[in-house]
Amino acid sequence: MKSTVITLLFIASAAFLSLALAGDLQNLFREVNAELIAQDQQNSNPSSFVGMDKSGKIISNKTGIQPISNPIATLTHGIEEVGIERTLCYGSCPAYTFTVRQDGSFNYSGEQYVEHIGSFKGELERSVVNNVFLAIDALDYMDLNYKYSINVLDAAAVYSKVVKHGEIKVIENYASTGPGTLLAVELLIDSLIAQIDWETVENVASY
């Protein structure tokens, strides 16, 4: 257990397995996909983006997988950590960030329009986490595009993260334009939030 904690702290210091704070996955998305984002921004004609359809939906065919060092020993699915961040919109969209690791430890940060505001950490049942990780693994998340978007300004974005076999991938899903498999991954991660026993969590910080 002690060695696992040390490994987690080492990886966190490298900014890959960080605590779940508001904006973390947005920042991680930009860091992991910096090269792909720069390539997209250099394209002065938005209509020539790979996968852009007549409605203005922009889809990149680049997967944006980033290797990380010192992966944690995992179960058969190979997934070490997953996370989700939902951002604010012009309405009352729930805004929060949630990260859970294969040992059951999690961090949750509620920003606005959620029941629990502040930063929390705790433990989930490993068997429950493992079942969700197995389901996510079956959806081939690592093969999805790194970004799904559409030309609107008032929608929320969802950033999801999967760390598997020492590789990290973060996907931006703006205005729910991603495929059904990505939506399924997002809902699976969210399902673990419903398993939190809020009476046993530690309140790290209140907003």
pLDDT digits (tens, 9 = 90+) for 176-195: 999 999 999 999 999 999 99
- 165: tokens are 């076999």
Percent of the chain scored above 70 by pLDDT?
72
Q: What is the mean pLDDT of residues 108-128?
A: 96
Q: What is the mean pLDDT of residues 76-89?
A: 95
pLDDT reported for residue 2 = 40
pTM, rounded to two decimals: 0.75
Q: Does residue 3 have a pLDDT over 80?
A: no
Q: Who has greater pLDDT, 174 or 61?
A: 174
* Number of other CB atoms surrounding residue 105 within 10 Å: 18
Which run of H or of E encompasses 159? strand 157-164
DSSP-assigned beta bridge partners for residue 168: 66, 163
Q: Does residue 112 have a pLDDT over 80?
A: yes
Mean pLDDT of the chain: 81
User: Under 8 Å CB-to-CB from 145, ≥6 apart: which residues?
Assistant: 51, 59, 60, 61, 62, 63, 64, 171
| pLDDT tier for residue 28 given thresholds of 50, 70 and 90 | confident
The residue behind tokens 């949750």 is 108
Q: Does residue 46 have a pLDDT over 60?
A: no
Q: Does residue 18 have a pLDDT over 50?
A: no
